Structure 1
């Protein structure tokens, strides 16, 4: 094999990051020694230049309809134009045709809509940007949509969640193709978090509560995140907020759909997961920094949330 050809399908209204997360990772992989190297090609109908969501214009490398050779990976990009793209029978038909020529098929973000329309997700588990997951599930009931993971691999077909999740999926491809060391080098080059397991939630605890319009809940969220190794029991949080424990619980159940204790444990576990994967800190130190009373408490939290202990989570390839 002289090269690994990656065909990236794009259209008007595509998200530039959905393309760049893939192509930049592949370029860095080549620069640090991927062998065989990757070659990324941008495909559009008629080889037309396309306008991204941001207004940036991109010139295609090849016409989608003229591309007709076996290749390594098909990647369908997402973006605000995904529904219009999925309603174009020519584009969808050529995506279906190319899928039969590719070793693996994938989508970034809302590109999953195009794969679904092409029948490539039928009977499969798939993800997409969390904001569009309900619509995907409603439009394609034969697809097992899971809005939570950052990416899902079901056989030869892989789908990634919102926008930069395409970077995580591409890193997993690079590791599969060239090994962990090279994938780690790419992650360092992109200053990325290697490696978020595919099952990690798109909606991080650290940002989800920002969606709440309740100022007190947001204030408590900020306090929790910045004081993970402090006493964050419900009585202490209630005193900090100046409300009763009962009212505090009611606020969290209303705005976060969790009790204060459940929320604190989730944030601590997510923070610990980040430290486990991005540092070489001993697990005991991770437990202390994140407010777990012991490594056993940390272990149990990982088992409950991720299904594996922290030691195995740290070694997990993706």
Structure 2
């Protein structure tokens, strides 16, 4: 059942927060309300609050107007969302906000964080023994400061019961869309994403990195040109010999160097890139699955199906039903 309207979302702001960590989810909730409240009953009521209220400067330099925490006394809070961000390389969780979260979080239906906002939830003791996500640059520090938290270093967002957390910056929008879907169903979330020109409603299980970007982060961009060429030629011959030729190396030297630099074999990278391309096509287009299989280098629909089952545990058809922007399943009642 969807929540009682309007669903009150409190977003916590503080000095040097990341602006998009706050405004990305805020815009998603506003877009959902604007697009789906034709009957005059808004889906969401959003409140941006800080410890003392007033203008709070973000790390981008733009200040955001907030209400003080005292203005929330006596108000029911459906969802409490904490933005991330800080001025330097050390995250400082404001004690006043930590104490308030510790007090009010148990009374909210759910609690969420974006990026380093997970540090604040952890400081309040909410993530002890729970799974959580944060920006990839902060994973090691979160584990070191809060070893009782089960940090998932790769996921865009993670849900553990009533606790939600996401990676950094744009992942906050993915998190907000997931919250909207949890409240009002797939169609409302997808149409909100399309309204915001977010072309893919990414699942939480998707990686923070694309396959080539992740590889480039490990190998300092040595094969960046090759990866770009591979991405543009997925339906061509991408055997090791052809890749070696493109890289200007002998096949054996290329294979050995590639594994040493990227941590995976050329064949594994090809499969991952082809899988990513097939997923994007299923999410963003209405092409027949047979055509997608051919265009992404899988050859046949059966080959594509085998890769999906082995890597994702689902079929291409079922994946499209879950994540396609063209999919419009029935709304939850009341949406």
In structure 2, relative to structure 1, the CA distance for the partners of 1:52 and 1:29 (3 Å cut) is same
> 1:256 aligns to what?
262
SS of residue in 2 equivalent to 1:50: strand
SS of residue in 2 equivalent to 1:41: strand
In structure 2, relative to structure 1, the CA distance for the partners of 1:214 and 1:246 (3 Å cut) is farther
Give per-residue Cα distances to partners, 1:182-217, cap 9 Å, x unaligned: 212111111113421110000111422443565641
Match of 2:56 among 46, 50, 57: 50
* Shift, 1:36, TM fit: 4.3
- Gaps (5+ residues) in structure 2? 325-335
> 1:223 aligns to what?
229
Distance across 2 between alignment mates of 1:262 and 1:16: 37
Query: Does 2:318 match 1:315?
Result: no
Give per-residue Cα distances to partners, 1:126-178, cap 9 Å, x unaligned: 11111111111121111110111111111000001121111111111112212
* Shift, 1:89, TM fit: 2.1
The answer to whether the 8 A contact 1:48-1:63 is kept is: yes
Normalising to structure 2: TM-score of the pair?
0.89
> 1:18 aligns to what?
21
User: For the aligned residues, what is the CA RMSD?
Assistant: 1.9
Give per-residue Cα distances to partners, 1:38-75, cap 9 Å, x unaligned: 11111111114211111111111x21244232211110
In structure 2, relative to structure 1, the CA distance for the partners of 1:252 and 1:65 (3 Å cut) is farther
Q: How many residues matched?
A: 316
> 1:162 aligns to what?
168
Distance across 2 between alignment mates of 1:153 and 1:141: 19
- Gaps (5+ residues) in structure 1? none
> 1:64 aligns to what?
69
> 1:134 aligns to what?
140
In structure 2, relative to structure 1, the CA distance for the partners of 1:153 and 1:317 (3 Å cut) is farther
Normalising to structure 1: TM-score of the pair?
0.94
* Shift, 1:307, TM fit: 2.4
